[in-house]
Amino acid sequence: MEKKNACRIKKNDKVKVLTGKDKGKIGKVIRIDEKKQRVLVEHVNMVKRHTRPSAKNKQGGIIEGEAGIHWSNVMLLCNKCMAPVRIQMKRLDDGKKVRVCRKCGELIDA
């Protein structure tokens, strides 16, 4: 049985890459693929794709873009700590669920 919303990383979060050829790079999450458990991070895991001319790309040629990496290989950055941190979920008084930094206790969802 697959967990729904197992990834605690969301779009536009700042993350740090922990493993692989781009280890140590920091970028913003562009897209999340929950089914494949992958995230697309800005300027990380760049690949070159050879394309034919089409309606979208009239000239064709070599296009460089990001490829997805497994979400276990990235870690969320806390805005206060400026370090990769684990997060925990907490409920506020109004009943809203928010993500909280485990190191400093800062709210990640503003």
Model confidence at 30, pLDDT cuts 50, 70, 90, reads: very high
pTM for the whole structure: 0.82
Q: How many CA atoms lie within 13 A of 50 on its CB side?
A: 0
pLDDT at 12: 94
Lowest mean pLDDT segment, chosen from 3-7, 60-64, 69-73, 90-94: 3-7
Model confidence at 1, pLDDT cuts 50, 70, 90, reads: very low
Give the amino acid at 13: D
SS (H, E, C) 49-101: EEECCCCCCCCCEEEEEECCEEHHHEEEECCCCCCECCEEEEECCCCCEEEEE
State the average pLDDT over residues 6-34. Answer: 93
Give the amino acid at 61: G
Is a pLDDT exceeding 90 seen at residue 3? no
State the average pLDDT over residues 38-49. Answer: 96
Q: What are the two backbone dihedrals, phi and then psi, of residue 99, each rounded to the nearest 5 degrees?
A: -95, 140
Query: What are the percentages of helix, strand and coil residues in the chain, rounded to 5?
Result: 5, 40, 55
Cβ–Cβ under 8 Å, residues 103 and 75 = no
Is a pLDDT exceeding 90 seen at residue 57? no
